[in-house]
Amino acid sequence: MSRGGPRAHRGRSPRRRRVDAARRAAFDALRAVTAHDGYANLVGPALFAERRLDDRDAAFATELLHGTCRHLGTYDRIIEAAGGRSLSSLQAAIVDVLRLGAHQLLGMRVPSHAAVAATVDLAGAAVGEHTTGLANAITRRIDAHDLDGWLTILSSGLDSRDRLALRTHHPRWIVDALADVLPAEELEAALAANNERPVTALAIRPGLATAAELVGAGATAHPDVPTAAMVTGHPGRFAAVREGRAGVQDPGSQRVALRLAEIEATDGPWLDLCAGPGGKAALLAGLAIDQGTWLLASELQPHRAVLVGQAVRAYAGRHAPLVIAADGTRPAWPDSTFARVMADVPCTGLGALRRRPEARWRRTPDDLDTLVPLQRRLLDSAINAARPGGIVSYVTCSPHRRETVEIVDAVLADRDDVERIGPDVQLWPHRDGTDAMFQALLRRR
């Protein structure tokens, strides 16, 4: 790829601006994220495939979209400082144009002249010719400093925690939440790890594929997780993925599923209480079949239940999993039914910021006031669903204390029919190379 980015067009008439396909696709994807609450990791690939971007342009557009989303709050402060005005005084679409320009200048190896020209052309073509002067002026002011220079300017007068939040591109409240559960010497490393794109991992469907098959097809065996293999490129190049015998899943998610399956428990069917989008359900379904039983996968949202069905579609026969759309807080099954229950509850998702770059700017502490009561109700429901001697796995993709240990402690304090088994597990990107998954195992007395 040239340093000017993919297929840059220059010398165009100001009123007949043409923008290269990669930058235009990145802009449209960013608008879907910022204006319509889309998710970059879902919107981007679908849009880039629809636009038929080649590998070079798709790679450029992906970095432009994800990098902009990851640094969004930082770039917003830089744009305000460079423009001398608040973002609220600007049209939302031109703000997104400026954010993409900031990332090209401060986060990518795009030469200044190319980044400025491309930003002006994008403003004219996508927003309106009347915005090009503003886009040119602010983008040139952004180019007056590199990213370190801007961080130095913006850090003036901040306390140490605010400076760390700015330098690592996180809201202050997330920095505080991680500081509450990590040793001080690990805090910056944990925050920095959230800015690194994870390597794609595949999970086999037990009984239908093996990790050795994936390795033989070009994947790399995971050193710690026997069901996992690491891949580069598009996962669809693997026959096992195309046939539903393997799927994309973070090794941390695989570890908590394997831990639930391996611990001693009574006999009986298994339940995945909040199964969407289906990665854990697919892994648990095969593990259940290996033990001569079957899995019920329940998901509140019907469209997510469809995704679960797609994830487990390759299983057939007497022990094939059953997928239903049901509310886990108002169970569609009798109490004391299941031998093993997975309760991977809705959460802030702070443990998956590597793969959901916009989430750190979208979530707020107020979200916890809604999520925490729901998490408690779901854990209570999961315990009720377990038969005596059964195991409940409480899981969140978050390290936040209110969503993890405090939920488990509160439920245990109110019940005398359940006990903790062993120490809780908290995984971390900077320690384990996984999402920051939390797991507590409980046994129904």
Here the CATH number for the domain that contains residue 289 is: 3.40.50.150
Has residue 372 been placed in a domain? yes
Domain that holds residue 178: 155-193
Does residue 9 register a pLDDT over 60?
no
Round to whole Å and give the CA distance between 425 and 395. 9
Same domain for 143 and 181, yes or no, is: no
Considering 69, 274, 347, 397, which one is annotated as catalytic?
Answer: 397
Same domain for 131 and 184, yes or no, is: no
Q: What is the pLDDT of residue 317?
A: 86
Q: Could you say which DSSP state residue 87 is in?
A: G
Dihedral sign from CA coordinates of 16, 21, 25, 27: negative
Same domain for 64 and 129, yes or no, is: yes
Burial of 16 (0-12, 13-18, 19+ CB in 10 A): exposed
In degrees and rounded to multiples of 5, residue 203 shows phi and psi of: -120, 130
Look at the block and give the residue holding tokens 């199964």.
275
Has residue 203 been placed in a domain? no
Same domain for 328 and 372, yes or no, is: yes
**Mean per-residue pLDDT of the chain:** 95
Q: How many Cβ atoms from other residues are within 10 Å of residue 308's Cβ? A: 26
Q: What is the pLDDT of residue 169?
A: 98
SS3 for 320?
coil
Instruction: Spell out the alpha helix ranges (H) of 321-424.
Output: 359-362, 366-385, 405-414
Has residue 91 been placed in a domain? yes
**DSSP β-bridge partners for residue 418:** 444
Q: What is the pLDDT of residue 17?
A: 85
Same domain for 187 and 65, yes or no, is: no
Has residue 9 been placed in a domain? no
Check if 69 is active-site: no
Dihedral sign from CA coordinates of 221, 395, 292, 422: positive
Same domain for 334 and 423, yes or no, is: yes
Average pLDDT (327-338) is: 97
Q: How many Cβ atoms from other residues are within 10 Å of residue 113's Cβ? A: 12
Total residues found in the chain within this entry: 445
Round to whole Å and give the CA distance between 372 and 187. 24
Q: How many Cβ atoms from other residues are within 10 Å of residue 333's Cβ? A: 15
Does residue 202 register a pLDDT over 80?
yes
Q: Could you say which DSSP state residue 198 is in?
A: P
Average pLDDT (173-200) is: 97
Same domain for 258 and 323, yes or no, is: yes
Report whether 282 contacts 205 (CB < 8 A): yes
Has residue 409 been placed in a domain? yes
Question: Based on the structure, what is the number of domains in the chain?
Answer: 3
Provide the terminal-to-terminal Cα distance of the chain, rounded to the nearest Å: 62
Q: What is the pLDDT of residue 96?
A: 98
- Model-level pTM? 0.92
- The encoded tokens of residue 152 equal 């130095």
- The encoded tokens of residue 70 equal 């990851």
- The encoded tokens of residue 278 equal 């289906």
Q: What is the pLDDT of residues 95-154, one digit of tens each?
A: 999 999 999 999 998 999 999 999 999 999 999 999 999 999 999 999 999 999 999 999
Same domain for 131 and 187, yes or no, is: no
CA 18 to chain centre: 33
CA atoms within 13 A on the CB side of 169: 26
